[in-house]
């Protein structure tokens, strides 16, 4: 799944969804012209209120990231602000892919791996990798 808002972050879900859509566009996971999931199906998949998805989509349209076409759905705008993927990001993706592969080989689930990455990014582990 491309989008995974986290209610425990203390950030409104619609803002998290907006950031995740923008990130997907910037990294090329979503390309110009590509259709986003419908409001209701996405709300059901994420177990959130459809109004939350609708608000995120409206704000994204206002920012020029997506286009809402009546009766057709939401699409990534042809002139959505895409970032150029730098060599550093490319190298980072390789490192992350390798780490994920190694963790899966040790039997960790994707959710466990995601939690490990999130904990590391949140600074919940000390330099030795132990919880502090």
pLDDT in tens, 17-64: 999 999 888 888 888 999 999 999 999 999 999 999 999 999 999 999
- Give the Cα separation of 114 and 19 in Å (integer): 18
**Angle at Cα 4 formed by Cα 107 and Cα 2, nearest 5°?**
85
Rounded to the nearest 10°, the torsion over CA 100, 106, 109, 112 is -80
Between these two residues, 76 and 93, which has the higher pLDDT value? 76
pLDDT of residue 86: 64
């Amino acid at each position: 799944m491309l989008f995974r808002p986290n209610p425990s972050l203390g950030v409104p879900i619609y803002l998290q969804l907006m950031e995740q859509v923008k990130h997907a566009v910037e990294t090329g996971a979503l390309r110009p012209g590509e259709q986003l999931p419908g409001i209701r199906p996405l709300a059901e998949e994420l177990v959130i209120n459809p109004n939350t998805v609708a608000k995120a989509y409206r704000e994204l349209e206002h920012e020029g990231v997506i286009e809402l076409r009546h009766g057709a759905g939401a699409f990534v705008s042809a002139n959505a602000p895409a970032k150029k993927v730098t060599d550093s990001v490319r190298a980072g993706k390789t490192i992350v892919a390798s780490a994920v592969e190694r963790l899966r080989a040790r039997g960790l689930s994707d959710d466990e791996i995601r939690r490990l990455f999130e904990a590391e990014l949140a600074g919940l582990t000390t330099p030795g990798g132990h919880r502090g």
